[in-house]
Amino acid sequence: MSTKRTMTLNLTDAEMAVLEAMAEAKDLTKTGVLRQALRLYQLIDVRIARGEKIFVENGLTKEKAELAIL
């Protein structure tokens, strides 16, 4: 639905291994995984820029912990 542009990406072996594993696990292409990463990064970055904090919750104990963003 949208016009796409091409770029070359240089990754370390470790980064490529993670990318390939996530692509397999999520049934996505490597480009698809990187798109997902960018979307999530932007979503979190926008909320933090607004002064909000991101928390993760343990599904069983309901314990919440702040997600550290570097």
Residues that bind another protein (CB under 8 A): 1-2, 25-29, 32, 35-36, 38-40, 42-43, 46
Is the CB of 27 or the CB of 63 nearer to another protein? 27
Compute the chain's Rg from CA coordinates. Answer: 16
Please identify, using beta-carbon distances, which residue of 3 and 13 lies nearer to another protein: 3
For residue 47, the tally of other CB atoms under 10 A from its CB is: 13
Report the 10 Å Cβ neighbour count for 64: 10
In the bound state with another protein, the residue whose beta carbon lies nearer, of 11 and 40, is: 40
State in angstroms the smallest separation of the CB of 11 from another protein.
19
Distance, in Å, from the CA atom of 19 to the CA atom of 22, rounded to the nearest integer, reads: 5
- Which residues are 64's β-sheet partners? 57
Nearest distance, CB of residue 31 and another protein, angstroms = 8
